[in-house]
Amino acid sequence: MSIFINKQDSFGLDISDLSLKVANIEKRGKQFEFTSFGCLAIPKGVIKDGQIQDEGRLVKAIHELLANVHGKQIKTKNVVCCLPEEKSFLDILQLPVLDPEETAQAVIFEAANHIPIPLEDVYFDFELIQPLIKNPKQQDILIAATPKKIVDGYFNALKKAGLRTQALEVEPLAIVRALVKLNVATKPLLIIDFGACRTSFIIFSGHNVTFSSTIPVSSNELTRVIAEKLNIKPKEAEDLKKSEGLEGDKKVFNAMTPVLTDLTQQIKNHLDYYKSHIPSSQGLNNLDNKVDRILLCGGGANLKGLANFLTSTFKIKVVLSNPLTNLKKTNLKTTPILDKEKSLCYATALGLALRGAQL
């Protein structure tokens, strides 16, 4: 589901508050091969809370990133870019089975009650989703919307960077395309994107995203509390966080406890919400609606001991995701090396690139 779409091969560009990430994938027969990637930190203030504040500096950063990718040079000007989850709206509508024209009219009518800003102020899209258990009298519709001022800002910046926007996609949809094997999960799973500035929760079930949300808990917040509690500089706190994680020095763990407590409570809240709201729309019973596993991605997912800590807390299997799961196995002689740790930061970019290769 995209705000704009054209059908040409494209690379993926992930724009966030503090960095740009790019990935390119080429189709080889029926398989997809990873060919290039890159990352560039951008100064605070260029983008704030997903909204572009300094278009000129962003354009300059995009040029710099594309000139310094690892692997094959990206020659195409066609791009698939993400829209910020925190500024977008995803929801599921339940409607009676109707013909396509009536469905479209009903979706627009119902969407006005689910999207917190007027429809005339957003770019809006929807698609029929496939629940795990079909109801012949009911259809589930996934709706997505992003404010026009946000979308127009991204579109205009990409145009000024000399790029042709083929699709602008809400971030959770890109993430699941990269992480979920063959884009299907027979049991519900929770994806936690633990990033530098925020954490996103995505519930995926069957073939579809059924829920997403973003909270301000972040990896950078862990660094901040370590620096405050231990009275050290942020750089030293970051180094300690990486070296000790949750399994090393108890002083470091104890310093992080308030943030970890907040994170686990938020995870519990989202799991409880899913159990009480989403499964009913999919015709699931109590045995079917339990989240089967949790996948971690984002740079913060590399925190030592985090997966084991969450597994112990929730009694659910928690594992580091594999953003290359839907790609052809890497030939190290011809393909740039993207190790496991770094790949967790590229889930969005790789999902966007997959979309570009499939257009």
The fold of the 2-358 domain, in CATH, is Nucleotidyltransferase; domain 5 (3.30.420)
The stretch 142-147 carries a mean pLDDT of 93
Identify the band that residue 2 occupies on the pLDDT scale cut at 50, 70 and 90.
low
Q: E-strand spans in the chain? A: 2-5, 11-15, 19-28, 31-41, 47-48, 51-52, 70-71, 78-83, 89-96, 122-128, 138-147, 164-170, 185-194, 199-206, 208-215, 293-297, 317-320
Q: Answer whether residue 330 shows pLDDT above 70.
A: no
First to last CA, the chain: 12
Predicted local confidence at residue 6, as pLDDT:
46
SS3 content of the chain, % helix, strand, coil (to 5): 40, 30, 30
Average pLDDT over residues 73-84: 96
pLDDT tens by residue, 232-278 = 999 999 999 999 999 999 999 999 999 999 999 999 999 998 888 76
pLDDT score at 339: 87
**In this predicted structure, what is the pLDDT of residue 323?**
95
Summarised one tens digit per residue, pLDDT across range 332-355 is 566 677 888 999 999 999 999 999
Distance between CA atoms of residues 170 and 156, nearest Å: 17
For 129-153, b/e burial (b = at least 16 CB within 10 A) is bebbeeeeeebbbbbbbbbbebbeb
Work out the mean pLDDT of the chain and round it to a whole number: 90
pLDDT at 288 over 70: no
Record the tokens describing residue 315, joined without a space: 């009694």
